[in-house]
Amino acid sequence: MPRGPFASVAWGPTIAMSWLWGLGFFYSIHLVLTYGWLGFAAFALPNAFGIFLFGAVLDRHAPDLAALCRRLRSGYAGSFLLYQTAAVAITLFGFGICVLRPLFGPDAVGAVALVLLAACAVGHVSSLAGLRRYHSAALAAALLGGVALTARLWGTSTAPLPGPESLLDDRFLGLLVPTLVGLLLGPWLDIQQWRRAVAIREAGGSTTLAFGAGAGIFLLLLVVNATLAAAAGPAGVHAGIDGVPFAGVAVAAALRGLDGGMGAWSLLFAGWATFVLSTTIDSFYESTRWLLRDLVSRSQSPLLALIPAGLAATPLWWALLALAGTLAAAKADLPFIFMVMPWATVFLPAAAGIVAETVSGRTAYDPPLSAMLGVCALFLFAAGHVAGSAPLLTFAAVLPLLATAIAFRPSGTSVGTAASASVQTATPAATAAPVRIAPVPVAANADAPFQGLVDGWFATRLVATYDDTNSVGNVYFATYVRWVGKARELLFRECVPDFDLKTTTFLALTRRFEHDFKREAAEFEEIEIRIRLSKYNRKFATLSHEIHSRSHGLLGSGSQIVLFVDRETYRPIDIPPNVLRGFMPYAVAPTGKVPAFVTEGAAKAA
């Protein structure tokens, strides 16, 4: 149900706070001190416009946003996860080298682990609605803290900010295209923003209004940060292994110098930065958990199914990966710009592919090609930065987009077209008359009683008797269901031979059963029932079945969904590992051959 504009605008604070990660927080300080207010504007305006554009395009081109997001979560899951890991890493890295190191010394960088765990704990216990309320309060604290720190530093530095002539620097000119492209495409690969967009649409809101409000608040936060940097002046500028000065440490250095060491204002800045940056990490945890739960619930990987759901779906592993990358980068004294490089190189093809798929419905993502060109661009960017080469930096940002352009060739099939073609193909097949099965060579042992694995199916045989028929002599329709049920029980006995109903901790229940009747069977016809595991996820197993007559071929086919529950509470549980292992021989795709049981009957009739 559509809601008023205020309900959409109210999403602004959480959008802004979740988008204010280490790149925006510390790079804005560096830019205003290195290139002045014009240099800052060249970064801040595309950054804010990119997050607004994300919401506006979704409103215009994604009427079924939830369905689009489900499709993208499957096709771009790895890119989403790596993007989030990198965002947390650059946030922790910036906090470590720009706050902890200048205030508390080089050994204090390891304290980023405490910040990470505390923020993840907040995300773990919070829903998206809870984070919205928390981020609204955090926004007020961020603005008040920034104003207080700026007021304290105002007038303490006499160094003027760089003028427009600083913009002629080759590095700055070379970063214009990477900055523009990276910031405009960046939100499209941020699962935090997709999480919010889906929730806004589900609540009947407008993503244009919500992300427009978020963009305005975000720009205000960047201006507060830049003003704080301007008040601090270029104190304690640090050069990394590239030899290029980085001014992100200036605020911490100025406050420590003002206090004559560690004082109240230095501690206030450390606490303020911790609080503000943690709103990205708690949002990372909540949104990544949303992504992982969806992926795990729909996964058909036998290896993943053996891992407890809580372990497989926790974002903590990705947070720890980000922490390891942060500590390694800090120990190597990597320049901050090296942590920024992925957004202008390796992430671009996936982000551009998502935009193309959203706007046109056509898939435009080739993961291997994107990875190869992205890594090449990464090295070119690093070389261009160290050499101060504007052409090399520009080319490094354009190169990865060639992967999207190649994948988006006109001959490609759009998502909508493929879906439409699938429906058109399926309709006549559903209504077509049964096709008589042609005979193939006879199996030597077709007459022998049989029960076991055949062509990827578990098969069992029987002879229809008077007890199975109705008043006119045909097999009663409910009998087919009973036969399939019997085959399923025999399959379970085969797969889990040690199952004991008296001691088991789980039960298998039928959630759904479907059967498509093709033709009737009669008394004394020889019947073969086949059943196999066709697909599964953590909770449900789908068993497909076929019923064949020796003399008439396929009688019918269908499927059933089985779920497993705790014996005491009847609450759904994951498929038990011993059951899944037993099912594996019957999860192989069928050969498609006509059963020897049927062809033997056809040969005899001939």
3-state secondary structure 386-399: HHCCHHHHHHHHHC
- pLDDT of res. 547: 94
pLDDT in tens, 238-256: 777 778 888 999 999 999 8
Question: What's the rounded Cα separation, in Å, for the pair 277 and 91?
Answer: 7
Q: Looking at 78-82, 119-123, 258-262, which range is the least confident one?
A: 258-262
**Three-state DSSP class for residue 10:** coil
Structure tokens at 536: 């599964």
- pLDDT of res. 258: 82
Q: Is the pLDDT of residue 337 over 80?
A: yes
Question: What's the rounded Cα separation, in Å, for the pair 494 and 453?
Answer: 10
The bridge status of strand 506-517 relative to strand 526-536 is: unpaired
pLDDT in tens, 29-38: 999 999 999 9
Ramachandran area for residue 2 (φ above 0: left; ψ -120 to 50: alpha; else beta): beta
> If we measure between CA atoms, which residue out of 196, 266, 273 comes closest to residue 25?
273
For 450-471, what is the mean pLDDT? Answer: 85
Burial of 202: CB neighbours in 10 Å, binned 0-12, 13-18, 19+? exposed
Determine the distance from the C-alpha atom of residue 243 to the mean position of all C-alpha atoms in its chain, rounded to a whole number: 37
Q: Which residues touch 428 (CB under 8 Å, ≥6 apart)?
A: none
Name the H helices within 154-249: 170-185, 191-202, 207-232
For 214-222, what is the mean pLDDT? Answer: 96
Question: What's the rounded Cα separation, in Å, for the pair 16 and 570?
Answer: 43
> If we measure between CA atoms, which residue out of 230, 305, 268, 201 comes closest to residue 30?
230
Burial of 103: CB neighbours in 10 Å, binned 0-12, 13-18, 19+? buried
Question: What's the rounded Cα separation, in Å, for the pair 91 and 108?
Answer: 16
Q: Is the pLDDT of residue 441 over 80?
A: no
- pLDDT of res. 237: 78
Question: What's the rounded Cα separation, in Å, for the pair 389 and 177?
Answer: 13
For 453-470, what is the mean pLDDT? Answer: 88
For 569-595, what is the mean pLDDT? Answer: 77
pLDDT in tens, 116-160: 999 999 999 999 999 999 999 999 999 999 999 999 999 888 888
Question: How does the average pLDDT of the chain come out, rounded?
Answer: 86
- pLDDT of res. 431: 35
pLDDT in tens, 323-334: 999 999 999 888
- φ and ψ at residue 505, rounded to 5 degrees: -100, -5
- pLDDT of res. 597: 57
- pLDDT of res. 574: 87
Q: Which residues touch 303 (CB under 8 Å, ≥6 apart)?
A: none
Please tell me which residue, 2 or 279, carries the higher pLDDT value. 279
Nearest-5° angle of CA 507, CA 511, CA 516?
Answer: 130
For 550-566, what is the mean pLDDT? Answer: 91
Q: Is the pLDDT of residue 259 over 80?
A: no
> If we measure between CA atoms, which residue out of 170, 95, 131, 440 comes closest to residue 287?
131
179, 344 contact by CB (below 8 A): yes
Structure tokens at 33: 């001190």
Q: Is the pLDDT of residue 428 over 70?
A: no
323, 116 contact by CB (below 8 A): yes
Question: What's the rounded Cα separation, in Å, for the pair 408 and 365?
Answer: 8
